[in-house]
Amino acid sequence: MRTMIGCFILISVCTISCQDDPKNKQESQNNSVVTETVDIEHETLLKTYPQVPDASAMLNAGDTGNAVYRLCQQRYTDQLSALKKEADGIGAKLLVVILSPEVGEAATVSLQKGVPFILEAAKKEGLDAFDMTSALSKYTPQQITQMPKDGHWSADGAKIVASLFQPIIGKYAAHRGTKTFTETERPKLLGDLDPNLNMALDGGKDIPYQLITNSQGFRMEQPLTFPKTKQRILFIGDSQIYSPFLDNNQTAAALLQLQNADKEIINGGVIGYTLDDCVGLVAQKAKYAEPDIIVLVTNPNDIGDFYFTQRNRMGRSKKAYTPTGTELALYKQLFPAK
């Protein structure tokens, strides 16, 4: 009897001691580890319009598809402008890097059309932009990604990506941001991942990897300290920089940190993010990390990601994105009701 009571006290202790166990945080289908809130209208839209077309399907969908793509391009441009304003506000240098594992035969119409557009959009904003897709085109997807299981970077791919980033960050070694924040101004969380995670994930693809986040919600092991003593480089973007299916120490950001002991490299990537998410992240949290350089890691998929179904599914704010008439027409065209 006493033993039994002891066991159940143990259970109760387990309950209390494990309440902050990270593994119980919501893990979305794509393995991003971000706590979410629920909005009824948002939920309704998600259920009513569950399908997400890829950008290539959009571009191949005739006039309606092209009209929606132009709309997405406009949203992309607007958000790039907003991001520049945020970077300017703290005196950080914003760099645009186009990075995509779509190489060789995997290169899509979206990539071919999107790369020139992004370069042009960056140029209009007066931003320095770098296209890594041509440098990566000499590799096959099997060399740099987890193909055939998944299209994200393999450990070798991440090494190549890091080597491509190295000269870019070296070029701006002297740049420093101008804004500092007080401890009272600075929020506790500076990144969008749940803090203090240390867990194995596999994204349902049987490629297990270790995710560690620091106490500030970035995919890195040590917390950032203030006042900063080194140049701070913040990488933002989607899974291409977050790097699912790689351990923390295998990601391009971690490899760059190893090569650049005089800098602090921050991996602020989150799966599924596009530009408006990056703007929200920087404006609300990441700017308080006082980055000197902000590297926006983007690719042409980010344009198509502005389609309303993708925004509703992956958007950071979890607000409802109601479709325009053209978006709705495209949805009906691509996904006719059965």
Partner 1 sequence: MQFNSWEFLWFCFGMLVLYWFCYKSVLLQNILLVAGSYYFYSRLHFSFPLYLLSLTMAGYLFGRVIEKSEHYRKPILVTGLILISSCLVILKYTNFGINTVNELGANFSLLKLVVPVGLSFYTFSSIGYITDVYRKKVSAEKNLITYSAYISFFPHLLAGPIPAATTLLTQFNKQRKFEVTQLESSVQQIAWGLFKKMVIADNISISVNYCFAHTATLNSFSLYLGIVLFSFQIYADFSGYSDIARGVARLFGIDLFINFKSPFLSRNPAEFWRRWHTSLTKWLTDYLYKPLGGRTDNKFRYSAVLLFIFLFSGLWHGANWTFVLWGLLNGLYFLPYLFSNRLIRYKEQACPGKRLPDWRTLFQILLTFHLITFSRILFKSNNLMQAKDYFTGLVSHHSLIMPPTFLFHHLHWCALLIILEWSQRFRSNPLDLKIPLPLRLLAYGIIVSLTILYHKPLSLQEYYYFRF
Residues of this chain that interact with partner 1 (CB under 8 A) are 1, 3-4, 6-8, 10-12, 14-15, 17-18, 21, 23-24, 26-27, 29, 198-202, 204, 206-210, 247
Cis status of the peptide bond prior to 223, with omega within 30 of 0: no
Q: CB of 33: closest distance to partner 1 in angstroms?
A: 11
> Dihedral of the CA atoms 41, 44, 45, 50 (nearest 10)?
150
**Residue closer to partner 1, measured from CB, 14 or 173:** 14
Q: Could you tell me the smallest distance in angstroms from the CB atom of residue 245 to partner 1?
A: 10
Q: Which is nearer to partner 1, 104 or 204 (CB)?
A: 204
Question: In angstroms, what is the minimal distance from the CB of 47 to partner 1?
Answer: 17
Shorter beta-carbon distance to partner 1: residue 109 or 199: 199
Nearer to partner 1, 56 or 250 (CB): 250
Secondary structure class of 255 (helix, strand, coil): helix
Structure letter (DSSP) for residue 282? H
- Contact at 8 Å (CB) between 253 and 219? yes
Using omega within 30 degrees of 0 as the cis cutoff, is the peptide bond preceding 141 cis? no
Q: Which residues contact 47 (CB under 8 A, 6 or more apart)?
A: none
* Beta strand pairing call for 263-267 and 209-212: unpaired
How open is the CA angle 149-152-155, to the nearest 5 degrees?
95
In the bound state with partner 1, the residue whose beta carbon lies nearer, of 16 and 174, is 16
Residue 8 CB, nearest approach to partner 1 (Å): 6
Nearest residue to 102 via CA among 237, 205, 240: 240
Nearer to partner 1, 29 or 48 (CB): 29
CB of 11 to partner 1, least distance (A): 5
Please choose, from the candidates 295, 293, 243, the residue with its C-alpha nearest in 3D space to the C-alpha of residue 263: 293
- What is the rounded CA–CA span in Å between residue 199 and residue 211? 5
270: Cβ–Cβ under 8 A, 6 or more apart, which residues?
Answer: 32, 34, 192, 193, 238, 242, 277, 281, 316
Name the residue nearer to partner 1 (CB basis): 4 or 174: 4
Minimum distance, C-beta of residue 308 to partner 1, in the bound complex (Å): 25
Residue 60: CB partners within 8 Å, gap ≥ 6? 109
Q: Which is nearer to partner 1, 78 or 247 (CB)?
A: 247
Q: Least CB distance from residue 300 to partner 1, whole Å?
A: 30
Provide, rounded to whole angstroms, the least separation between the CB of residue 218 and partner 1: 17
What are the phi and psi torsion angles at 216 (to 5°)? -105, 5
Distance (Å, whole) CA 313 – CA 47: 10
Closest CB to partner 1 among 35 and 134?
A: 35
The minimum distance between CB 159 and partner 1, in angstroms, equals: 15
